[in-house]
Structure 1
Amino acid sequence: MGYYVTVEKGVNVYVEDVGSGKPVVLIHGWPVNHNMFEYQTSQLPKYGYRTISIDLRGFGKSDRPWQGYSYDRMADDIHEVLETLRLKNVRLIGFSMGGAIAIRYMARHAGKRVSQLILVDAAAPAFTQRPGFPYGFTKAEIDALLEQNDKDRPQLLTDFGNIFFAQSISDSFRNWFQLLGLEADSHATYETLKSLRDEDLRADLAKIHVPTAIFHGKLDKVAPYPLAIAMNEGIKGSLLVPFEHSGHGSFYDEREKFHKELLSFLDSLRYFVGEEEI
């Protein structure tokens, strides 16, 4: 079932809501949409999870306002969805930029309604290099991508797709995945890329106080593996699960392992909070 949630006056975000049971909320990455989780949303309901996928503003079927693409505002959008749906004991899963937004949500909203966090190839704690953090892209490299977005966005997405997966994928799958990016608003693609360039989540990590798993491909060329180590060091008690043969798309590069590790961690929540929903 799909529907819209109003997150601020004049802005509605699209939500895909499948299955019943314990709620899992998924936040996609740049520049795709909720459909990237097709191989998870088709499975999780079989194991008793209500699977809720959100299109961030500017992406997929959500509204495309001119403003509001900071991590703060997008984290507030997530907050509005969780509040509107009155969800409890949420398992929050964020991929890439969605992982960064999930971290900001946990810090900005004190993890309200969330009892478990899964960060998948997250573009955090910082996506670009800066003093004291020599990992990731340079800001000049992101500036070049911003320029390419305004000149030849399809080629930008093709180039991005070429470094995304570490394992062989079919041309059909590659084309499908690129189309997810082409569905995004060009301005939203540009503005969220600026947020990826400029945002710094290092101070947010210590504000996370729920069981957290970090799934990260060791061959990741988009959000390199040292980012996962930094998150693991910054989030007290977090579990780091390396995917030895995965690039940025561990959810597909090692799909069977991903499903196994995800279900194992989701199931472990009962040992922390008991069976009763909170």
Structure 2
Amino acid sequence: MPVNRHRAHAEIARPGFIATTDGVELFYRDWQPERAAGNGGTIVFVPSYSLPGDMWAYQMLPLTHAGFRCVAYDRRGHGRSSDPGGGYDYDTLADDLAALIDALDLSDITLVGYSMGGAEAVRYLTRHGSTRVARLVLIASTLPMLAKTPDNPDGIDRVYAEAFQQDLLSDYPQWLAENARPFAGPGASQAMIDWIREMALRTSHQALFACNETVNHGDFRNELRDIEVPTLVVQGDRDVSNPLELTSRRTARLIPNARLLVYEGAPHGIFLSDAARLTADIGAFASDVCRISAES
């Protein structure tokens, strides 16, 4: 596996923050179990496009109670992290993840990435290697490639990306209001939807636009073949953001040691709509990769 020999040399900047080499401070949460229960290993959560690490609360809290050390962070330009005005390419974002892992000296990690965060997790592995990572979970990811091109004819036409970018430039709050319910699913409370919208509205507009462009140009079709760690791929079959057949179904076929778990009726926001089930599946996979019943 190709490995980037340039390391982040990150450090703890102040409580709850690490500093990257380009001066960005990344906010993180490090929830550790009670000493008596602390035998579950470490899970590192990479957040969605537009959302901070807070999105993982309903996975992190029960998993911490189950004995896992749970770490989540805010991507640059998101949540409490710095808004540096740049660095939203996958290489830099993967280096930010490496900075967090190195600064906290984490090892034997179950690395969990959701939506855009799944691509960042994969780029971390192909750029920095798997020495610190034991297994990978990809949830409703943007992998392997979303854009429609001559060699990816089933992809999403550029016109849809441009329409969303126009909403970013004109009325992003209205776009969120119209799309939050399809994202979270019919069972989510209005209060939960409001919570998600409030977090998304705090994200830097510049980061939103730049990260959207990064996702639109992402092509991991060859890169996924280099993933060596056991991988669990999870997605709902009602995901309208990243259609199952275009993303997770193909991703599971490209990664050598991957299994696909499909949640019937689940939307893109599977961490909300199926929070308890997803939490249990992450915990089971992090404890014993053979316990998940998956489909190919």
Question: Residue 5 of structure 2 corresponds to which residue in structure 1?
Answer: none
Question: Residue 212 of structure 1 corresponds to which residue in structure 2?
Answer: 231
In structure 2, runs of 5+ residues without a counterpart are 1-13, 292-296
Question: Residue 276 of structure 1 corresponds to which residue in structure 2?
Answer: none
Question: Residue 40 of structure 1 corresponds to which residue in structure 2?
Answer: 59
Which structure carries more helix by proportion? 1
How much does 1:154 deviate?
A: 0.9
Q: In the TM superposition, what whole-angstrom CA distance separates every residue of 1:48-81 from its partner, at most 9, and x where no partner exists? A: 1110001000000000011100111100100111
Question: Residue 7 of structure 1 corresponds to which residue in structure 2?
Answer: 20
TM-score for the superposition, normalised by structure 1: 0.92
Structure 1 contact 69–192 (Cα < 8 Å) conserved: yes
Taking the aligned partners of 2:290 and 2:97, their CA distance within structure 1 comes to: 24
Structure 1 contact 116–212 (Cα < 8 Å) conserved: yes
- Please point out which of 161, 164, 173 is paired with 1:142: 161
Question: Residue 119 of structure 2 corresponds to which residue in structure 1?
Answer: 100
Question: Residue 89 of structure 1 corresponds to which residue in structure 2?
Answer: 108
Partner SS, residue 156 of structure 2: coil
Q: 1:135 to 1:100 in 2, by over 3 A?
A: farther
Q: In the TM superposition, what whole-angstrom CA distance separates every residue of 1:135-176 from its partner, at most 9, and x where no partner exists? A: 453222111211211111212222332331333222111111
- Please point out which of 241, 244, 251 is paired with 2:271: 251
Counterparts of 1:1-278 in structure 2, within 5 Å, are 3-20=16-33, 21=38, 22-226=41-245, 227-269=247-289
Q: 1:270 to 1:137 in 2, by over 3 A?
A: closer
Structure 1 contact 166–245 (Cα < 8 Å) conserved: no
Structure 1 contact 149–186 (Cα < 8 Å) conserved: yes
Taking the aligned partners of 2:175 and 2:94, their CA distance within structure 1 comes to: 26
Taking the aligned partners of 1:224 and 1:248, their CA distance within structure 2 comes to: 9
How much does 1:269 deviate?
A: 4.8
Taking the aligned partners of 2:156 and 2:123, their CA distance within structure 1 comes to: 20
How much does 1:115 deviate?
A: 0.7
Q: In the TM superposition, what whole-angstrom CA distance separates every residue of 1:153-200 from its partner, at most 9, and x where no partner exists? A: 212222332331333222111111111100101100110011111111
Q: 1:50 to 1:139 in 2, by over 3 A?
A: same
Q: In the TM superposition, what whole-angstrom CA distance separates every residue of 1:14-33 from its partner, at most 9, and x where no partner exists? A: 11110144111001101111
Structure 2 contact 233–259 (Cα < 8 Å) conserved: yes
Of the structure 1 ranges 104-113 and 29-38, higher mean CA displacement relative to structure 2 is found in 104-113
Taking the aligned partners of 1:134 and 1:158, their CA distance within structure 2 comes to: 31
How much does 1:2 deviate?
A: 6.0
TM-score for the superposition, normalised by structure 2: 0.87
Q: In the TM superposition, what whole-angstrom CA distance separates every residue of 1:89-133 from its partner, at most 9, and x where no partner exists? A: 011000001111111111111223111100011111112222332
Partner SS, residue 190 of structure 1: helix
Structure 1 contact 16–52 (Cα < 8 Å) conserved: yes
Taking the aligned partners of 1:234 and 1:131, their CA distance within structure 2 comes to: 20
Structure 1 contact 136–222 (Cα < 8 Å) conserved: no
Percent of aligned positions that are identical: 27
Taking the aligned partners of 1:150 and 1:251, their CA distance within structure 2 comes to: 28
Taking the aligned partners of 2:232 and 2:143, their CA distance within structure 1 comes to: 14
Taking the aligned partners of 1:158 and 1:128, their CA distance within structure 2 comes to: 25
The alignment of Structure 1 onto Structure 2 pairs a total of residues equal to 271
Taking the aligned partners of 1:127 and 1:101, their CA distance within structure 2 comes to: 15
Taking the aligned partners of 2:279 and 2:193, their CA distance within structure 1 comes to: 21
Partner SS, residue 43 of structure 1: helix
Q: Which amino acid aligns with 1:251?
A: F
Structure 2 contact 135–229 (Cα < 8 Å) conserved: yes
How much does 1:262 deviate?
A: 1.6
